[in-house]
Amino acid sequence: MDSQIDWHAARAALEWQMEMGVTETISDIPINRFEQMQPPPKAGVGPGVAAPAVPVQPAPATDPVAEAEVAAEACSDLAALKAALAAYPHCELRKGARNLVFSDGVPGARVMIVGEAPGRDEDRIGKPFVGRAGQLLDKMLAAIDLGRDPDGRNAVYITNVLPWRPPQNRDPKPDEIAMMLPFLKRHIALTKPDVLVVMGNVSCQALLGKRGITRLRGQWAEVDGLPAIPMFHPAYLLRNPAAKREAWADLLDLQARLTKKD
């Protein structure tokens, strides 16, 4: 006879025990049910040792200058360039300025003047060189038969290195100049002037890579293949009237260069 109880016999025996009121079973080997089973230790982690943190990949670093170069290069006209400047998010100056000061005068004029940054009046009105310094600039230009009005070959075009006013008219910081330089160079490329007038230390630093306007003024240089003459900024001339003689000499030199190109 087979010593093992078949499935049907085992089930019948279990049902009989349940009918008799059995609710527990007794094993041949005692088991301590109060003894808690400890979970197995995690591999490689001892007591008191934290599990190794999952490395977090840092976000890619933002390069404001590289983004400015891409944005500026994509602009095919001045309207697109102005829109790209307005959308550029990395220059903090925009947050404290009233207006983006883009340009004035006649696009495509023979002479393009590059100033430094807007002041209070420029920020309020939204055009470059409209305060006392701008009034002096207009007189300087008129002295050699140039002006902002659309008058053919005598017109000029004016912009600044920075389109937003720095707080309290402070000097622009190097990183601010670096961010705006791609837009300025694209501005020059789109307007295609014959001659650049680089006014003031900030403009010389941006376009010529040099500072020291008293040393640089009147010395013709080259910016992206264009002849450029550094000049005193009109605001400097207001503070230092004695320098107007040198400024007049530079204006005559500019006039002679334009006449020679005719």
The string of pLDDT tens digits covering residues 87-138 is 999 999 999 999 999 999 999 999 999 999 999 999 999 999 999 999 999 9
pTM exceeding the 0.85 threshold for the entire prediction: no
Per-residue pLDDT tens for 204-238? 999 999 999 999 999 999 999 999 999 999 999 99
Tokens 């085992």, located at residue: 10
Q: Extract the tokens encoding 10.
A: 């085992």
pLDDT at position 114 is 99
Pick the CATH number of 65-261 from 3.40.250.10, 3.40.30.10, 3.80.10.10, 3.40.470.10: 3.40.470.10
**pLDDT value at 35 more than 80:** no
Q: Extract the tokens encoding 167.
A: 């707080």
Share of the chain above pLDDT 70, in %: 79
Q: Where are the domains of the chain?
A: 65-261
Q: Where are the beta strands (DSSP E) in the chain?
A: 104-105, 111-115, 156-160, 195-199, 221-223, 226-231
**pLDDT value at 1 more than 50:** no
Q: Extract the tokens encoding 216.
A: 């640089």
pLDDT at position 19 is 65
**pLDDT value at 36 more than 60:** no
Q: Which residues fall within 8 angstroms of residue 47, CB to CB, at 6 or more apart? A: none
Count CB neighbours of 99 within 10 A.
15
d(CA 95, CA 78): 23
